[in-house]
Amino acid sequence: MRARDDGVIRVEDHGDGVWRIEELYALPYCRGAIWVVDGSDRRLVLDAGWGLVPLDRCLPELFDRPIVAVASHTHFDHIGGLDRFANRMVHPLEAAILADPNPTAVQSLPFLLDHDTLAFDPVPGGFDAAAWRLPAMPATATVAEGDRIDLGCRVLRVLHTPGHSPGHICLFEEATGFLFAADAIYDGLMFDTLPGASVPELLATHARLAALPATRVFPGHFEVFDRARLVYLVDRYRREKSA
């Protein structure tokens, strides 16, 4: 892996064997980050973006070692390219969606018809939001609270963190304090009224994440931040919801 930016796909090196892949054609608020974590034995890919430009075609070096792909949850901007990976993990509560990722289940519709989501169209012939369908991508395994994903020389613990979606998970690396938070928390507007979302559950998830000895937070959208910012964002959201 190496840092690159061709105007369509950007790869950022965050150090310590952590990389972020971004699909620049999607606007930031719905540009699901693709996080890559390298261990000595295999590579973790957390989430898979929209997949309108297949990663195995535009970024073949991503696939140059064994990979385990994990879906933090099953919204369209996080699983669109998951079918390109042979080993796919997800929480049991959302496994059925990977087997049948219809537009309602992955919430691409009516969302794509109601919101401006693309910075530019990367699809030859034009992207048709109404007709877009994801292929079936059944989970090859499920992961739940307390499970550990061993990459060789580094281990990430699975946290069940509902609120944004019922089966949402985060990954926490205790050795480094790295928290891969996906859409549980990020520095932007939280989407907490989508089908399956729950503000009370999200508040509980936030309190749990704020109590972790996190050093860096790698979110599903926008910028990486530290524990101080995590605590601030948790408190700000709590105050917003109690107003």
- Residue 124: pLDDT over 90: no
Q: What is the mean pLDDT of residues 98-127?
A: 95
Count CB atoms within 10 A of the CB of residue 114: 8
Q: How many residues does the chain have?
A: 243
Element at 217 (helix H, strand E): strand 216-219
Q: What is the pLDDT of residue 193?
A: 93
Q: What is the pLDDT of residue 97?
A: 98
**Average pLDDT of the chain?**
96
First to last CA, the chain: 46
CA contacts within 13 A on the Cβ side of 206: 26
- Residue 1: pLDDT over 90: no
pLDDT tens digits along 69-93: 999 999 999 999 999 999 999 999 9
pLDDT tens digits along 131-162: 999 999 999 999 999 999 999 999 999 999 99
Task: Report how far apart, in Å, the C-alpha atoms of 73 and of each of 44, 213, 217, 226 are.
Answer: 15, 23, 17, 23
- Residue 201: pLDDT over 80: yes
In one-letter notation, the amino acid at residue 194 is L
**Tokens at 183, concatenated:** 């859409």
Domains of the chain are 4-242 (3.60.15.10)
pLDDT tens digits along 170-196: 999 999 999 999 999 999 999 999 999
Q: What is the pLDDT of residue 160?
A: 98
Tell me the whole-structure pTM to 2 decimals. Answer: 0.96
pLDDT tens digits along 50-59: 999 999 999 9
- Residue 243: pLDDT over 80: no
